[in-house]
Amino acid sequence: MKKRTLESKDKIRVLIVEDDKSSLDVLEEYLTIEGFLVLTASDGIDAINKIEEEDLDIVLTDLQMPGADGIDVLKAAKKVNRDLHVIIVTGYASLETTLQAIKEGAYDYITKPFKLEEVAVVLGNASERVRLEREKGRLIEDLRKACAELDTLRQSKADLDINVDEINKSMEEDQAKIAKNLKMLQILPGNSLPLYYLQTKGSDKDRMFEKLERLVKLRQDGVLTEEEFRLCKERLLTQV
């Protein structure tokens, strides 16, 4: 069952479980003045329902109640949320009931008759534990987010490294091709340079006329002198 979010996230949320209405009213008023966000239940069954429905921090429950007693409320609270702080209020301060409550996970207990100041001290200690646990939860969440961001950065760096490697490899291949072409150009006579560019386009006989047209164009553009044009044309024709 989805729990409802109470109206203040910062306040400590306390459920008071007491079948005596006058005691319940006094505790509710006092804890509200002390700054707690207070809910109430008049018996154990009502308390268990609220524990299942509400988002609580502390349960202050009477031990002896009709329907379901304080131990039943304690067990239900720990089943819903093992971090829920349950304080037992009992008029039967026997060693047996105290040990049973602690064994079941009770945070502390208060004996009747009690003073409101005693209740405030016990709830103050429990509240400090709640605040520390909330801070711990926030720190853990911050660490999780930081780890996720770090993983994202690492993945981005890995992707960048791959891209850099690919670029470097491509540059090395281009440099090798350029070096090869430069080497070939260096061993050609000066008047054979235009013919070299023609040959790189293909040397099939079927394209001889296309090459001749290029020679004519090079001469017209002033790239070739008449002598160079003649030599290139003769060399081209000898390859047919």
CB contact at 8 A, 125 and 108: yes
Token reading at 138: 């926030």
Residue 15 has pLDDT above 50, yes or no: yes
> Taking the CA atoms of the chain, what radius of gyration do you get in angstroms?
45
* Residue 6: per-residue pLDDT: 41
Q: Is 29 inside any structural domain?
A: yes
Structural domain ending residue among the three candidates 91, 107, 131: 131
Nearest 5°: CA angle at 117, between 30 and 85?
A: 75
CB contact at 8 A, 118 and 124: no
With pLDDT > 90 as the criterion, what percentage of the chain qualifies? 28
Q: Is 55 inside any structural domain?
A: yes
Query: Do 197 and 125 share a domain, yes or no?
Result: no
What is the rounded CA–CA span in Å between residue 80 and residue 2? 11
Query: Do 20 and 121 share a domain, yes or no?
Result: yes
Structural domain ending residue among the three candidates 89, 115, 131: 131
Structural domain ending residue among the three candidates 131, 156, 171: 131
Query: Greatest CA separation found in the chain?
Result: 125
Q: Is 219 inside any structural domain?
A: yes
Q: Is 93 inside any structural domain?
A: yes
Helix, strand, or coil (residue 85): strand
* Residue 203: per-residue pLDDT: 46
Mean pLDDT for the chain overall:
78
Residue 159: pLDDT band with limits 50, 70, 90:
low
- The 8-class DSSP code of residue 17 comes to E
Query: Do 28 and 97 share a domain, yes or no?
Result: yes
Query: Do 122 and 232 share a domain, yes or no?
Result: no
CA dihedral of 218, 222, 223, 229, whole degrees rounded to 10: 60
What is the rounded CA–CA span in Å between residue 208 and residue 214? 10
pLDDT digits 0-9 by tens, 173-232: 766 665 565 555 444 444 444 444 445 444 455 566 677 777 777 778 777 788 877 777
122 versus 220: the higher-pLDDT residue is 122
Q: What share of the chain is helix, strand, coil (3-state, %, to 5)?
A: 65, 10, 25
* Residue 190: per-residue pLDDT: 47
pLDDT digits 0-9 by tens, 20-76: 899 899 999 999 998 999 999 999 999 999 999 999 999 999 988 888 889 999 999
Query: Do 35 and 110 share a domain, yes or no?
Result: yes
* Residue 123: per-residue pLDDT: 93
Query: Do 33 and 112 share a domain, yes or no?
Result: yes
Query: Do 18 and 122 share a domain, yes or no?
Result: yes
Query: Do 114 and 215 share a domain, yes or no?
Result: no
CATH code assigned at 113 = 3.40.50.2300
For residue 230, the enclosing domain spans: 181-238
Q: Is 176 inside any structural domain?
A: no
Query: Do 185 and 127 share a domain, yes or no?
Result: no
Q: Is 170 inside any structural domain?
A: no
Q: Is 173 inside any structural domain?
A: no
Token reading at 41: 């239940």
The number of folded domains in the chain is 2
Q: Is 150 inside any structural domain?
A: no
Query: Do 41 and 114 share a domain, yes or no?
Result: yes
Query: Do 17 and 126 share a domain, yes or no?
Result: yes
140 versus 211: the higher-pLDDT residue is 140
Query: Do 122 and 193 share a domain, yes or no?
Result: no
Token reading at 121: 């001290």
Residue 7: pLDDT band with limits 50, 70, 90:
very low
